[in-house]
Structure 1
Amino acid sequence: MIDWNQIRTVLLDMDGTLLDLHYDTYFWLTHLPTRYAEVRGLPHEKARDEIHRTIQGLRGSLDWYCLDYWSNRLDMDVGALKSEVQERIGFRAGAQHFLRELRDSHRRVVIVTNAHQTGLDLKIHRTGLDQWVDTIHTTHSFGRPKEDPAFWPELQAQEPFEPEQSLLIDDNHAALRAAETFGIRHLVSVRTPDSQQPPIPGAHWPAVEHFDELLPIGTPEPLY
């Protein structure tokens, strides 16, 4: 699936790629509506529908991922609410082994996530994810999400990489399309980002169920 000799930089999504998306799915579709209904004295279905409509209206924008936006919109500390169910945060199957193999291969490994810094800090605290990679970039530092093609040259200016020698693994098809438009050559999607949901159909790119499908990696040979 991947010719690792062509890869020098590995760009990794976090939620739904390295970490099980079940935590986020549960939070946004179950826990947040429940707590919102409690605070506002609303029927659960009404609270759920209101939040769902807002989610759909923001999809693909940076506000969709921004906990500050949601805290202001709902007049609740959404970052604190995310901590209430933090025990659900966890790696996808095989992710830690894959990260270990990447680290041992001496390639540059970079997480590129749409997660807000508050949520990112919580997940780092729970998983130690930052210990496995060279650095982590959140798109909130750039003011635009990965779905925006203009994000990728801005990332490259801060995190130099050669698109022809880079691999992006991401469960977000819109982000993969934007990266492809920018020129990132090696793209892989994730078949089942949420362990409690069915696989995502219709990936235009090679899709993996388990990271073992991308092994072995090995150390890179010189490129001429």
Structure 2
Amino acid sequence: METDLVVPVKALPDAKSRLRGAVAPDEHANLVLAVLLDTVTAAGEADGVRRVLVVSSDPTVASVLAAEGFECVPEGPARGLNEALRHGAALLRQSDGPDRKDKGQIGALQADLPALRPDDLAAAIKTADGRRAFCADRQTTGTTLLLSAAGHPLNPMFGVGSALAHAASGALPLTGQWPSLRCDVDTAQDLAVARELGLGLRSTALLCAMAGGPIEC
């Protein structure tokens, strides 16, 4: 079964506020973009992933993604993370042919997984096997990946304590190791953990290029 993924991204001035300070202030937006590009690149290379659709109304995000060959659509009229995910999922469902509408699986993937490995994502999707399922972050409280049951609504419940909320909604907890799928980056400490796992090419290039940057190259 092939899975389509929705990746929501805030406007750059508002994105990853807790990550500010990890790099120089004038490099923060570039870091957010590099992390996003590493995430969607790995997602697009994972077995079982058919499409990756980014939802963002930020024109810079849209421009950079288009230049790299990724799909990006603006948010719908309702704002917020869960609303962006519902909007993206609805667009994916609308584009399905009649033989897929009741069978396809849609997932929500966080945009801040710069160490993501395609094999980890593919293994999680395979384990879900078409069922509603989620992967918790390394702190076990948040959610890095939510998968709908095949042919059913995504029903995202992201926010504080989203892992418990998704479990309470009937989603199957995906308990494999998959460290790169669990390592979302909200803080400088998270970025250090992702570095140990191995950052993607864009994040590595950005941090290496910075004078006195946080990683040795």
Q: Give me the TM-score of the superposition, normalised by structure 1.
A: 0.37
Q: Rg: which structure is higher?
A: 1
Greater RCO, 1 or 2 (C-alpha within 8 Å, sep 6+): 1
Q: TM-score scaled by structure 2?
A: 0.38
